[in-house]
Amino acid sequence: MELNKTTDGLVIPAADSKIPEGPVAEKWTNYKAHQKLVNPANKRRLDVIVVGTGLAGASAASTLAEMGFNVLNFCIQDSPRRAHSIAAQGGINAAKNYQNDGDSVYRLFYDTVKGGDYRAREANVYRLAEVSNNIIDQCVAQGVPFAREYGGLLANRSFGGAQVSRTFYAKGQTGQQLLLGAYSSLNRQIELGKVKSFNRYEMHDVVMVDGRARGIIAKNLVTGKFERFAAHAVVLATGGYGNTYFLSTNAMGCNCSAAIAAYRKGAYFANPAFVQIHPTCIPVHGDQQSKLTLMSESLRNDGRIWVPKNIEDAKKLQAGTIKGSDIPEEDRDYYLERRYPAFGNLVPRDVASRAAKERCDKGFGVNNTGLAVFLDFSDAINRLGIDQVRQRYGNLFDMYEEITDVNPGEFACNKNGVDYYNPMMIFPAIHYTMGGLWVDYELQTSITGLFAIGECNFSDHGANRLGASALMQGLADGYFVLPYTIQNYLSDQITVPRFSTDTPEFEEAEKACIEHEKALLAIQGNRSVDSIHKELGHIMWEYVGMGRTKEGLELALSKLKELRKEFETNLYVPGTQEGMNNELDKAFRLNDFITMGELIAYDALNRNESCGGHFREEYQTEEGEAKRDDEHFFYVSCWDYAGNDNAAPTLIKEPLHYEAIKVQTRNYKS
């Protein structure tokens, strides 16, 4: 990519974002009408590697195979069905307007752009809203058992950042059902021989031939051997980088190594500082904790968030001398309803998380660590009865009880004629990453032939993702966008024969992977992978978490340098390269998490504004709201690898252009 050198630094030329001509509502239609296609006979001759089997990966792999391409599909788990999309609870958005509450493609588009604090690429978001309806049709056709009304039609519920009910759901297991739907389509293609499935394989590197992505080196996690795979195009659907923080709602195996491998090969990494901190997670309870558990945002439909009005009550709660249910209605501060009357408990996630932090920072936290707020269902139970509330959230109540030993549906006491039930305790936690590999409108990265879809790319959620939009984006990319746009690239590849992997490029790449593992094993220091990863997590949460400052970020960068040194000199990895070695695999991933941590910190330090999930304490209003700076930061920050992990990456900007939406200050108050 030839960059423009301007007084404002390096800038991606507008043409390279490949946004189609025309009004925003017609761009996707125009694109599909004029894009190049590949005929059926040629599709049979083209191979595509899809790394990952979550919603984006599984849907892309199955759809490409249905079209006639040959697909090689990889996952690190023992089955494609276990990708972390499976854990999504609440639902998936679509602009069906089945509830007749004023929804439309435009409104979903507008809510998503506004929710993302005006840092998403407008054309991509419109396309997302446009195909959202097709996703629901597709999933129902597959046999996904969405929740229904007694009349047999689909049910909806509300999510944060919206004033309509547009979220489709399957109990509290929507991600599971959508993923199993995609997995079923994938299975059909595996049976038909169009998809070759490689389970317990981990991608270690992208192989470049003549400046294009032409394959990958993947490790067979059972035998420990590296294997070479070639294809006409490579698609990464490898998820986000939330586990950089060690504690997050991500699964244990979620990692950013595939994306970082692409970054080291020249793919730009966009907006890494945009990390989503989810407001409703079960609070941290101790040093041995391995992950944080999310309580679905859907709970905010009926749950009310509060802390005590009086600091004395908070102190008693922290000391454990009283319980939440001992505090009567008039002494409770429903701070979201107080600060944001128009959206109340359903403000977007970044706003709800920051408001919780603000109350806890002022000393109003409600547990022994002072880092928790209440989510209370007393009102809903009194209004609807426990049975109906349990029908909506029963599995979440059970999950909460199993972890904390407290049943949130249990009657606690009656005060002045009002029944009070045990509230849940919640606190924000790292959940999702809006940043990711930079992609153009076709979802191609800055490496020719390398595509990124789902959470792995950056384009649709701006600085903050709305609830129930991750499932929508993963499936939009995989079912309806990539299978079209990749053909525009593959149409040029029809005369390229299948590749041999017996080339110097593959040999060199494989050798580098083997040598890298050897080096990790040879350190023979004293610290386990997890102990260094936990330290990384502490640095990230403390200085690159919910509240960031210039000084803190500079300190984080110097601490991360020291941590890298510790990793390189004092790591201990047991075992050998032969056979299964989980510790070695974790060490490989941790090396990339450290690089990722630095990327997040560099980006956060550069962005001298507060927007969405990125909150710089220097940039806030008197009321404590985020203060954006559109004059200086109305761009996507793309980071270009400097050639080695110790050097700072180069900033490249993609200016944002909004045509259909007027950029304004977010307001959830009125």
Interior/surface letters 645-670, b for 16+ CB within 10 angstroms, e for the rest: beeebebbbbebeeeebeeeebebee
Nearer to other proteins, 65 or 207 (CB): 65
Q: How far apart are CA 165 and CA 91, in angstroms?
A: 11
Q: How far is the CB of 545 from other proteins (least distance, A)?
A: 21
Considering the complex, state which of residue 118 and residue 479 has its C-beta at the smaller distance from other proteins: 479
Q: Following DSSP, what letter does each residue of 23-63 receive, concatenated?
A: -GGGHHHHHHHHS----HHHHTT-EEEEE--SHHHHHHHHH
Largest CA distance in the chain: 80
Name the minimum Å distance from CB 475 to other proteins. Answer: 10
Q: What's the rounded Cα separation, in Å, for the pair 558 and 453? A: 32
Of 179 and 217, which CB lies nearer to other proteins in the complex structure? 179
DSSP summary character for residue 613 = T
Instruction: Extract the tokens encoding 111.
Output: 């809510």
Q: How far is the CB of 448 from other proteins (least distance, A)?
A: 26
What would the two tokens of residue 128 be? 């997302």
Closer residue to other proteins in complex, CB, 385/575: 575
User: In the complex, what is the shortest distance from the CB of residue 153 to other proteins, in angstroms, rounded to a whole number?
Assistant: 5
- Residues forming a β-bridge with 93: 167
Q: Are 468 and 49 in contact (CB under 8 A)?
A: no
CB of 380 to other proteins, least distance (A): 21
Residue position matching structure tokens 């689909």: 154
The contacts of residue 103 (CB under 8 Å, 6+ apart) are 95, 96, 97, 164, 166
Q: Rounded to the nearest whole angstrom, what is the least distance from the CB of residue 478 to other proteins in the complex?
A: 9
Give the residue with the Cβ less far from other proteins, 267 or 472.
Answer: 472
Catalytic residue among 82, 349, 354, 666: 349
**Burial 390-420, CB ≥16 within 10 A → b, else e:** bebbeebbebbbeebeeebbeeeeeeeeeeb
CB 179 within 8 A of CB 62: no
551: amino acid identity, one letter? E
Helix (H) or strand (E) run with residue 121 in it: none
Which tokens in the block code for residue 410?
């249990």
In the bound complex, what is the minimum distance in angstroms from residue 404's beta carbon to other proteins? Answer: 8
Nearer to other proteins, 218 or 652 (CB): 218
- Long-range pairs of 18-26 with CB within 8 A, sequence gap ≥ 24: 18/440, 18/441, 18/442, 18/444, 19/121, 19/123, 19/441, 20/123, 20/441, 23/659, 23/660, 24/109, 24/122, 24/123, 24/126, 24/659, 24/660, 25/105, 25/106, 25/126, 25/130, 25/660
Q: Which residue in the block uniquely carries the two structure tokens 């004033």?
A: 163
In whole angstroms, the minimum distance from the beta carbon of 575 to other proteins comes to 6
Nearer to other proteins, 339 or 533 (CB): 533
Catalytic residue check, 498: no
Give least dist CB 553 to other proteins, A.
30
Q: Which is nearer to other proteins, 272 or 365 (CB)?
A: 365
**Alpha carbon distance 85, 475 (integer Å):** 11
User: Which residue from 544, 662, 524, 519 is spatially nearest to 597, judged by alpha carbons?
Assistant: 544
Nearer to other proteins, 405 or 502 (CB): 405
Catalytic residues: 349
